[in-house]
A and B are shown apart, each in its own frame.
Chain A
């Protein structure tokens, strides 16, 4: 079955409100498609097996691991990535809160943390600590020790609640 030229498909998506299209091999994962075909390198890939949460994006409104989704399957989808979170130069309250509360150090996990935290606050605007832990338990971080991430999310919930 090995062909010299791989079987390719044209994948059209909307990312952060903008249309994109690229022809990719059938086996392209969504995270590789975003990073290498579309040049959107904000989304990170760390574990590649759906465990760590670094590659978290929103796929048609649902928080998804982009490392275990095929790009062809996302054809026609509406995607949001970390690049679409800030409004121009104005950071999103979740981003502000991670800065103010030491919610990151090396930053490798941060795009995924921000996407997951934002998605949590969209579904549960005022989460309890157990709700934060349950939602965020799939976002691993080697640096912060997690408490600052939880603090950041609580702070973001508070500022977002006031707006």
Chain B
């Protein structure tokens, strides 16, 4: 590991100022669960590390004005355990519960997880279909970015290097929607997903009033299966109809071969798990 100057500001504003001061040579570190390994492997070699661990506040989890507000410095364990999250976005509590192990979630932050932008991470598919957005702040000001506008490529986001995630906002879902998060783990329980699917759905008078499907570990970023959603919305779903509709996700995924499965296998599984997830949220018996 290279050496670096370590800064431990006590406010977000100071952290933002440090990023400007060391423009291009500074990197934020929050829980450090992802970044420390990258530093050890010399994959990132910043001259300055700006640590957020002493920053006061920005870790509250509240609900107001029809949305959940989760401070970026909240730990992922806090989100998983939060009664407010379980009440207003149970899918989110479940998605964070599936991240790594308790030991990692105790330290890993919501903001660090979002900025890390690994497409195999658990929260993004759920965040996408929940219509979540993040608040970013820098020395220049604040802006809000929808999760659907955040991820660009493997480990790449539309955030500027001097921007800090300060909050995750998740709007309330209509009453009566069912949800699921399926993390397909053929190897070990603590692994990253081979394929992951988050889904939300609502059936009214036997017809699909709402269906949303998010896919993880299936390409450079988590994605939403919008064409599939459009094809299923308004129909009266059966195992056969969902199976047929799900084939379309194989055209939008772009998985890679890795120890968790070959690209071909993951592509096949994308259709299988998209169908199963929709069956669960639409109350269709699996064939």
Are the CB atoms of B4 and A63 closer together than 8 Å? no
Are the CB atoms of B2 and A68 closer together than 8 Å? no
Binds B, one of A50-58, A91-99, A103-111: A50-58
Residue B251 at the A interface, CB < 8 A?
no
Of the listed residues A48, A51, A59, A116, the one surrounded by the most CB atoms of chain B closer than 10 A to its CB is: A51
Cβ–Cβ < 8 Å partners of A50 in chain B: 33, 37, 100, 103-104
From A26, A59, A133, B4 is in contact (CB under 8 Å) with: A26
Additional 16 contacts, C-beta under 8 A, given A73-B6, A73-B53: A7-B6, A25-B3, A27-B4, A48-B40, A50-B37, A50-B103, A64-B106, A64-B107, A65-B33, A65-B107, A69-B32, A70-B32, A137-B190, A138-B102, A138-B104, A138-B190
Q: How far is the CA of A99 from the CA of B4 in the complex (A)?
A: 44
Are the CB atoms of B6 and A70 closer together than 8 Å? yes
Residue B101 at the A interface, CB < 8 A?
yes
From A3, A49, A59, B3 is in contact (CB under 8 Å) with: A3
Are the CB atoms of B189 and A9 closer together than 8 Å? no
Are the CB atoms of B6 and A9 closer together than 8 Å? yes
Residue A135 at the B interface, CB < 8 A?
yes
Q: Which residue of B lies closest to A48 (CB)?
A: B40
Q: How far is the CA of A63 from the CA of B77 in the complex (A)?
A: 11
* Beta-carbon contacts under 8 Å, B89-123 to A: 100-104, 106-107
Q: How far is the CA of A29 from the CA of B32 in the complex (A)?
A: 11
Are the CB atoms of A53 and B101 closer together than 8 Å? yes
Known contacts A27-B39, A63-B103: does B33 contact A68 (CB below 8 Å)? yes
Chain A's nearest CB lies how many Å from the CB of B232? 33
Residue B47 at the A interface, CB < 8 A?
yes
Chain A's nearest CB lies how many Å from the CB of B231? 37
Q: How far is the CA of A70 from the CA of B40 in the complex (A)?
A: 10
Are the CB atoms of A137 and B189 closer together than 8 Å? yes
Residue B241 at the A interface, CB < 8 A?
no
From B4, B6, B36, A69 is in contact (CB under 8 Å) with: B36
Chain A's nearest CB lies how many Å from the CB of B106? 4
List chain A positions with a Cβ less than 8 A from chain B.
1-3, 6-7, 9, 25-27, 29, 48-51, 53, 56, 59, 62-65, 68-70, 72-73, 75, 116, 133-135, 137-138
Known contacts A48-B40, A73-B32: does B1 contact A53 (CB below 8 Å)? no
Known contacts A68-B36, A70-B36: does B102 contact A7 (CB below 8 Å)? no
Chain B's nearest CB lies how many Å from the CB of A79? 13
Are the CB atoms of A65 and B104 closer together than 8 Å? yes
> For chain B, what secondary structure do more than half of its interface residues adopt (helix, strand, loop), or is it mixed?
loop
Residue B5 at the A interface, CB < 8 A?
yes
From A3, A9, A137, B101 is in contact (CB under 8 Å) with: A137
Are the CB atoms of A49 and B37 closer together than 8 Å? yes
Known contacts A1-B2, A63-B106, A64-B107: does B37 contact A138 (CB below 8 Å)? no
Are the CB atoms of A29 and B36 closer together than 8 Å? yes
Known contacts A7-B3, A73-B32, A73-B51: does B40 contact A64 (CB below 8 Å)? no
Cβ–Cβ < 8 Å partners of A137 in chain B: 101, 188-190
Of the listed residues A6, A63, A73, the one surrounded by the most CB atoms of chain B closer than 10 A to its CB is: A73
Known contacts A56-B103, A62-B107, A73-B53: does B6 contact A51 (CB below 8 Å)? no
Cβ–Cβ < 8 Å partners of B32 in chain A: 68-70, 73
Q: How far is the CA of A137 from the CA of B36 in the complex (A)?
A: 22
From B6, B33, B40, B107, A72 is in contact (CB under 8 Å) with: B6
Per-residue interface assignment for chain B, residues 1 to 27, with 1 indicating a CB less than 8 Å from any chain A CB and 0 otherwise: 111111010000000000000000000
Q: How far is the CA of A49 from the CA of B29 in the complex (A)?
A: 16
Cβ–Cβ < 8 Å partners of B77 in chain A: 62
Cβ–Cβ < 8 Å partners of B51 in chain A: 72-73
Chain A's nearest CB lies how many Å from the CB of B15? 14
Chain A's nearest CB lies how many Å from the CB of B263? 24
Cβ–Cβ < 8 Å partners of B40 in chain A: 29, 48-49
Q: How far is the CA of A16 from the CA of B53 in the complex (A)?
A: 22
**8 closest Cβ contacts across the A-B interface?**
A138-B101, A27-B1, A6-B3, A68-B36, A62-B106, A7-B3, A26-B3, A72-B6
12 A-B pairs in the complex with CB atoms less than 8 angstroms apart: A50-B33, A51-B190, A53-B103, A59-B107, A63-B106, A64-B107, A65-B33, A70-B29, A72-B8, A134-B102, A137-B188, A138-B102
